[in-house]
Structure 1
């Protein structure tokens, strides 16, 4: 069993896979999509690396089906379900906390206007907002909570939650599994030996757009709020 050595381990998906295997992966996906404290946990990279270890994970937990496709499908389905449950918990929390937050006074870390902006965002983008949030770190942690706060329709949220969870889980887990197979057969490269580089690439791909959006969005907001001289 893997042992905790440094804080870097908390950002390393392979650490969790070797520490707790299948069940820990499901818990992390649940926590990252349903609990405030889960925003720092690896999501995209964990799914990708889990895909590489799919056969081992299913074999150790249930016994292999004898088919790498079925093993990978079982893993992706379970991860999707964990993500769906996590989002529903986050939505429920936001729904219950919403009235209190609307009555709360503005502070350094809280602006009531963001609640109204979030409501307008869901009204404008609908299904796309919930589905695409799955692929954005940090955003996927707070999205279901905000959806509950702004009282997005429960049935619509559940529908979009299910679609987003399955797209997210299947695309990343199958990409990890079959890209590893492709690199081993075509180039004799085992991706398990290059996980650090893979994780860095995934983090850059998933976080750079968010950072750019935040910087330019904040700049535009500041310009709009600046008084005309």
Structure 2
């Protein structure tokens, strides 16, 4: 550990080699189950876990089938992701009454809670699923859902759908894209981790930043009229 540098904290390979399958599962849980997990590399970690699926699964059981290794890893991640989201929802639900009774401050406005509740009432299911694929949002989405008292049964259903879609898509993509690039293009993704991280950041945060930028720009144009 004498070669440690802070830059390693955004490198998903660092976590895989440091703690293996157990640390990977903990990070997935922490991203939504623990309030401080928003800085962790969830998307790129899952993609890279797909590449290292055989090594990760062999830490707990030996499976000869390549497909079953990826399937088991995806299943474990989705289960932990579901549990993490449920913990986040529980935390939000417990803290919700306090926030609803809290007086407005410069930072906190109670009307934001009512706006969030209206949003979840109309688009709750889609919001929970979409948030899985967006860094930071997937940390706070379950907490907000609990705060605004989103229907528990509805939330649980979309929590399952979102977690399965997120984990299976990213892990299977990482595993099989690695094979395609290596076998057909002789390009080893393991040797270009920084490219993977950069692409994952652009793919997951790009649409959000694009929407926020143009929404702000449109608002400025409206105010200038």
Measured against aligned partners, the alpha-carbon deviations of 1:58-117 in whole angstroms (never above 9, x if no partner) come to 112322x11111000110000001110000000000000001111222334322222111
Residue of structure 2 in register with 1:39 after alignment: 38
**In 1: Cα distance, 2:77 partner to 2:116 partner:** 27
Residue of structure 1 in register with 2:145 after alignment: 147
1:176 aligns with 2:169: no
**In 2: Cα distance, 1:90 partner to 1:23 partner:** 20
Contact 1:3/1:19 (8 A) holds in 2:
no
Residue of structure 1 in register with 2:124 after alignment: 126
- In structure 2, the CA distance between the partners of 1:141 and 1:222, relative to structure 1 (3 Å rule), is farther
Contact 1:90/1:144 (8 A) holds in 2:
yes
From 93, 96, 107, give the equivalent of 1:95. Answer: 93
How many residues are aligned here? 225
1:82 aligns with 2:111: no
Measured against aligned partners, the alpha-carbon deviations of 1:37-69 in whole angstroms (never above 9, x if no partner) come to 000000100000000000111112322x11111
Measured against aligned partners, the alpha-carbon deviations of 1:140-173 in whole angstroms (never above 9, x if no partner) come to 0000000001111111111100000000000000
What is the SS of the residue equivalent to 1:60?
Answer: coil
TM-score, L = length of structure 1: 0.92
Shift in Å at residue 218 of structure 1?
A: 4.5
Task: Describe how 1:1-229 pairs up with structure 2 within 5 A.
Answer: 5-63=4-62, 65-218=63-216
**In 2: Cα distance, 1:57 partner to 1:26 partner:** 11
What is the SS of the residue equivalent to 1:126?
Answer: helix
Segments of structure 1 that go 5 or more residues without pairing to the other structure are none
Runs of 4+ in 1 over 2 A off after TM superposition: 105-111, 212-224
- In structure 2, the CA distance between the partners of 1:113 and 1:221, relative to structure 1 (3 Å rule), is farther
Q: Provide the alpha-carbon RMSD of the alignment.
A: 1.9
Shift in Å at residue 219 of structure 1?
A: 5.2
Segments of structure 2 that go 5 or more residues without pairing to the other structure are none
**In 2: Cα distance, 1:95 partner to 1:3 partner:** 43
Shift in Å at residue 9 of structure 1?
A: 1.1
What is the SS of the residue equivalent to 2:135?
Answer: coil
**In 2: Cα distance, 1:181 partner to 1:3 partner:** 33
**In 2: Cα distance, 1:135 partner to 1:191 partner:** 21
Shift in Å at residue 25 of structure 1?
A: 0.5
Shift in Å at residue 177 of structure 1?
A: 0.1
**In 2: Cα distance, 1:136 partner to 1:4 partner:** 31
What is the SS of the residue equivalent to 2:187?
Answer: coil
**In 2: Cα distance, 1:109 partner to 1:192 partner:** 44
**In 1: Cα distance, 2:97 partner to 2:211 partner:** 29
**In 2: Cα distance, 1:81 partner to 1:203 partner:** 24
Contact 1:40/1:138 (8 A) holds in 2:
yes
